[in-house]
Amino acid sequence: MFDGFELRQVAVGDGVTLRVRTGGSGPPVLLLHGHPRTHVTWHKMAPLLAVGFTVVCLDLRGYGQSSKPPAEADHSGYGKRAMARDCVEAMRQLGHRNFAVVGHDRGAYVAQRLAADHPELVSHLVVMDAVPIGEALARCDARFAARWWHWFFLGQTAKPAERVIDADPDAWYQVDAKAMGEEAYADLRQALHDPATVHAMCEDYRAGLTVDRDADDADRRAGRRITCPTLVVWATRDDLEDLYGDPVEVWRGWADAVRGVALESGHHLAEEVPDQLAAVLQEFLGGPAGPIPSAENEAGAVTAE
């Protein structure tokens, strides 16, 4: 995996180190994974994007082989603001003052917080299969609760979810190992069998229901908006459109310059349609690829301006 990439540990302060992988050359792009993945989720797509870009992938704090700092009473240690600060410091140490950021799933919330809190650093924002946490919770109804019940199961503290997951991680996280790739699955499975990782991932969700929602709500009250070019990418075989209609219109409530692309895929786009996703990102970020694929071609993409 990641032929030509370099793997390292980067200390980002407060005793936290991140597992970071870098490769390619050109303008820097930071890739942020979702739950329960690690940075290895990008292993098919990152080498394609590295043709024209310096690609940085990392394990978010609490995930994979990055640090798992002790949980705090208010869960802020696993809030997206703390994770965003980790990313800023990691990119600084790698020599990148300005960069684009791409986030999938939970990583999209970190990417959003990076663009909101550090607008002077983020040149482009890409969010995949996500709307802001504050938006999702404000719109929460019985249908959302039925489909996304894991938000509330992982996020509650009265009867911690860790005991259920740790009893049989393979049964809880059912992954198509063949589709993911043998090495990538082994990396993920190692993480999921670590109780410290499971606890940290639950803290991520607890932060989502508390400090992360508070941060989004504060942005809305203050009229703070994301000012950099923003691309929303979603999978047609996931439920973003079913829950929210047009994801581009949702994000226009949060960002000034939004485009959208739907890809014919399940939730894990970087693993399922890496070629199409790389082409979309290269076009948006100004790389060597051609225009965003149309609905009629093999990429199965639909664009929205």
Active site residues: 105, 267
CB 215 within 8 A of CB 227: no
Distances (CA, A) of 175 to 64, 170, 192: 16, 8, 11
CA atoms within 13 A on the CB side of 14: 12
CB 31 within 8 A of CB 42: yes
Strands (E) across the chain are located at 6-13, 16-24, 28-32, 54-58, 99-104, 122-128, 226-235, 255-263, 301-304
Distances (CA, A) of 143 to 146, 147, 148, 149, 244: 5, 6, 8, 10, 11
Burial class (CB in 10 A: 0-12, 13-18, 19+), 24: buried
Q: What length does the chain have?
A: 305
CB 230 within 8 A of CB 127: yes
CB 239 within 8 A of CB 267: no
